[in-house]
Structure 1
Amino acid sequence: MWNMAPRTPNRIAVPSRTDPLLRRFTEMIGGPLGRRTEPGRTPTGFFTVERVLVALTVVAALAAVAAKNACRVGGWDGANSYMWACYSDLPPLFHARGFAENPFAPFVDGANFEYPVLMSFVASITALPIVPGDYDRALAYFDLNVLLIAALWIAVVLMTSRSAGRRPWDAAMVAIAPGMILASTINWDMWAVAALAGAVLAFSRDRTVLAGALIGIGTATKLFPVLFLGAVLVLAVRTGRWRAFGTTTAAAAGAWLAVNVPAMLLSFEGWSVFWTFTREREAGWSSLWHAWNTIAEAAGAEGLSAETINTAGFVAFFLSCVGVAVIGLIAPTRPRLIQLVFLIVASFVLVNKVYSPQFVIWLIPLVALAWPKWRDFLIWQLVEVLHFFAIWAFLYQMTVELEAQHALAPAAYVLAVFAHMGMVLYLMVRVVHSMWDTSADPVRRAGQDDPGGGPFAGARDAGWVARLRRA
């Protein structure tokens, strides 16, 4: 059975020693941890690293609920959720997608629930106990889902901490990230985030079948976890260790089929709603393509069609993946697995035709493992917070009649979109730089090769890759 106990080295890296920004903030509490202490060896009593991380996550989860309180009190109808930036898909979809009448509405003919199978299943199971009665059923549905999201958030923090090797404190980024506080309760994405975090941890411990199964489950919830296999493929090519890729991919395919085939047989029409909706939908808010269309409309030109965006987005993502593969093969030192995963997922986020505000929670655990630098992380999160409020202000002014001086100008909305994209690109550049110069990689500076590498940790390059890199 898979042992979930922590397997960090005897000594662990402490942020007050290793991070320049946090070191300065410790002056008010006595300065950084002393050099003669042995964190990880010295008993800490009740306040272990993981217990502190759980406490931080609980506080952040309460803040997430408080951030939605205006909607919990005033409702999600009309422009209220945009005005107070407390929007969530969960209460509106409870009635709009038929859960109030039939908890398993996504699995019948005539369904219009535009999400993959396991997300549909989660939405249905959490609707089952919300029986008819004299109470706000949509609010109860929201609260039940938020409770589960908070539990998943804690699990993601713990799995990230255990995947970080000597740097378990890096998971504090996931615990207290403003993006998690604001966006984690918008939709069911945390289920897919937890599946990917579990796959990263399982793979780091050479449990490739379990990792693949979790990738398949995550992909049946939201598509982005399947991108993990791209990073595994790059390292398999570079090292010649193909077994890890084969077993992980086979397990992922098996798990995905195991949950999708029954849904297809039960109601192929309901199962296919997600795929049809994804293909036909227009550019989503905050995406590169929606910003482009907003600029075009302001200039009096015609925006890009859904078909054009599908083609352009696919080509852009394909070229991005080729670029990541080339970088992964010719970098002087074998990249860490999570660095490649972050680059691929970030590329997908940047060029996808939809960027929902909750997509930021996809990246936060990956950034904590790929580039755990608090200064860059906090700047990125500040920009994401500004973008978060800009999108709701833009939607609010489209919903109600506002005078020009009180409305958010389209140019400000477009600027917020480009700012968040620019920060993601900046983090990608820093990760690529750390792949080329390992002395700039905080994880490798802690004396680790690749804590998440699993079968690839310590592997040598295949002969042809070495010759290609010299050429």
Structure 2
Amino acid sequence: MNLPPGGHVHPTQDDAFLASFSEGVGGPVGSRAGRHPWWTPVRVVLALATICLALGLVQKSSCYQASWQNGVERYTHMCYSDLPYQYTGRGLAELSWPYSDDEEVRARYPVMEYPAVIAYWAWGTAHVTHWLSGSPDLSPRYATPADRLAGLEGITDEARRYVAVNAVGLAGLALVAVWLLAGVHRHRPWDAALVAASPALLLTAWINWDLLALVFVAGALWAWSRDRPVLTGVMIGLGTATKLYPLFLLGALLVIGIRERRLKDVAAAALFALVAWGFANLPGYVSGPDEWAHFWTFNSDRGADLGSLWLVIDQAYDVGFDPATINLWSWGLFAVWCLGVLVIGLRAPETPRFAQLGLLILIGFLLLNKVYSPQYVLWLLPLAALARPRWRDHLVWQGGEVFYFAMVWFYLGGFLDPSGGGDVGFYWVAILVRALAELYLVGLVVRDVLRPEHDPVRARPPGPPQSMTTRSNVVAV
């Protein structure tokens, strides 16, 4: 492989969009550019991620200053976060175990509606918050009605501190994820910058705990690229114990296993995914089986919810979908979608890459799911960055995601309601724009799979343009 200076593909030589964009700062890197002794590509990408995550905290600062107590500001400033509300609304301020079957705890608080790893993380960071708060006496809280706990002295500051503790911890995991992604394709570390400098990451990183699952997905992609199927399975299992969607990566591995006759590796990954998922869920299940099962029943009983195409159909045509109907159709259509991905994967001239297949499967799930919370875009980020490492395409796709991000808060704040009453049609438009943006990404990846010469990762890295060789004093990183 004919690689540029530094032993890696440089983005200004590989991506026409970045090449044209770089003209304002000296143009693409030249053939004689040297390497900086410290600023390696991975360190630059990690620095970009740090800046992006810090700006995300700045974006949430107005809500932080108001302790998320201003009901309107969280929507007008688009700085909403679930974390402070979970702290007071799920018993974390009293250090209640999320899967406790204690009658008094369950009488005061509903069960957390998240999978096990998120519940453990939320409970663990609550303990850190209490320690940083001087380990306050909890007895006054037990004597206060749960719906008034948020107004108790010291709780507001504690809830803000809880958000800060989670922000630090999640930021660290996000940096680990970026580091792993930079190592998936050893000659393309810069592809991880598509995650590190993502507008979607900036806006949605602190809404919920979805960054926890992202690091496991990144770990699975890294482990598979190193031919370590057991570790791949462990990462998928832990990811599935955090959010359901990493489970679908096993479908991508199945296609690869059939194509490359590596079904033993796929079986090993699936087995260890099951083992890791089981061990991760064991503490929650043993301590409260009914409480552990709440995640599954909660999602099964859920109707057409925010951001879904089902919501558009339900509201536009007054269908009145019941949850059982949506469950049947969404899973049935998703099975058909997965069958389509299987056919495309088997008919492709070359074996599709893990990230490509994973992205196609996951977008199908999100398009057909009953809900699309704004932070779900984080699910797609690592797969999209490696499946289609082109900045123009990511900006088009994330433009649709950012548009939806803004509209969902305006919708929840009631700012999109027509003056004469009635349905909120503009919110439907936002959902459709986001769906079309995701389908745009699907179209590009399907083309890359069926015509591998269009795949940026498979294409031969270009050398520096002849007209740019005079720019040889630029230091490459």
TM-score range, shorter chain: 0.7 to 0.9
1:265 maps to 286
Task: Specify every segment of 5 or more residues in structure 2 that has no aligned partner in the other structure, as ranges.
Answer: 137-153, 463-477
- The answer to whether 1:51 aligns with 2:43 is yes
Instruction: Please give the alpha-carbon distance, in whole angstroms, between the structure 2 residues aligned to 1:68 and 1:96.
Output: 20
Structure-1 residue corresponding to 2:447: 433
In 1, distance between residues paired with 2:322 and 2:310? Answer: 10
Paired residue type of 1:99? L
Kindly state the Cα deviation for residue 232 of structure 1 after the two structures are TM-superposed. Answer: 0.6
Shift of 1:79: 3.0
Once residues 430 and 409 of structure 1 are traced to their aligned partners in structure 2, the CA distance between those partners, rounded to angstroms, is 34
Tell me the secondary structure at the aligned position of residue 106 of structure 1. coil
Aligned to 1:25: 21
- The yes-or-no answer on 1:242 pairing with 2:263 is yes
What is the correspondence of 1:103-252 to structure 2 with a 5 Å cutoff? Answer: 103-109=96-102, 110=106, 111-131=110-130, 133=136, 134=154, 136-252=157-273
Residue of structure 2 equivalent to 1:5: none
Write the letter of the residue equivalent to 1:127.
A
Letter in 2 for 1:404: S
State how far apart, in whole Å, the 1-side matches of 2:381 and 2:280 are. 27
Q: In structure 2, which of residues 11, 15, 19 is the aligned counterpart of residue 15 of structure 1?
A: 11
Q: Deviations over 1:255-304 (max 9, x none)?
A: 111122332121101101101101001222011111222212xxxx3321
User: 1:272, 1:398 → 2: CA distance?
Assistant: 37
Residue of 391, 396, 414 corresponding to 1:397: 414
Q: Is the 8 A contact 1:166 1:446 kept in 2?
A: no
Q: Distance in 2 between matches of 1:187 and 1:114?
A: 12
Q: Alignment partner for residue 353 of structure 1, among 344, 350, 370?
A: 370
1:253 to partner: Cα distance: 0.5
TM-score, structure 1 as length reference: 0.87
Structure 2 residue 321 is matched with structure 1 residue 304 = yes
For 1:179, give the aligned amino acid: A
The code of the aligned residue for 1:55 comes to A
* Aligned-residue identity in percent: 38
Query: Does 1:369 find its partner at 2:369?
Result: no
Task: After superposition, give the CA deviation of every residue in 1:98-146 in whole Å (9 maximum; x if it has no partner).
Answer: 1111342334343511011111101100011222643611111111101
Check conservation: 1:9, 1:165, Cα contact below 8 A.
Answer: no
CA contact (8 A) 1:16 1:22 kept: yes
Q: Which amino acid aligns with 1:11?
A: G
Write the distance in 2 (CA, Å) between the matches of 1:302 and 1:383: 27
Once the two structures are TM-superposed, the CA of residue 409 in structure 1 deviates from its matched residue by 7.0
Structure-2 change in CA distance of 1:9 and 1:441 (3 Å) = farther
Q: Measure, in 2, the Cα distance between the counterparts of 1:83 and 1:404.
A: 18
- How far apart, CA to CA, are the structure 2 residues paired with 1:151 and 1:324? 34
- TM-score norm. by structure 2 comes to 0.86
Q: 1:422 — aligned with what? A: 436
Report what 2:395 is aligned to: 378
Aligned length in residues: 430
Question: Aligned AA for 1:348?
Answer: F
* C-alpha contact (below 8 Å) 1:13/1:167 kept by paired residues: yes
The amino acid that maps onto 2:67 is G
CA contact (8 A) 2:84 2:163 kept: yes
- Secondary structure at 2:183 match in 1: helix
Distance 2:402 2:354 in 1: 28
What is the aligned counterpart of 1:64 among 45, 48, 56? Answer: 56
How far does the alpha carbon of each residue in 1:203-226 deviate from its partner, in whole angstroms, 9 at most, with x for none? 111111111111111100101111
RMSD after superposition: 2.1
Q: RCO higher in 1 or 2 (8 Å CA, sep ≥ 6)?
A: 2
- Over 3 Å counting, the alpha-carbon distance change for 1:67 and 1:102 in structure 2 is same
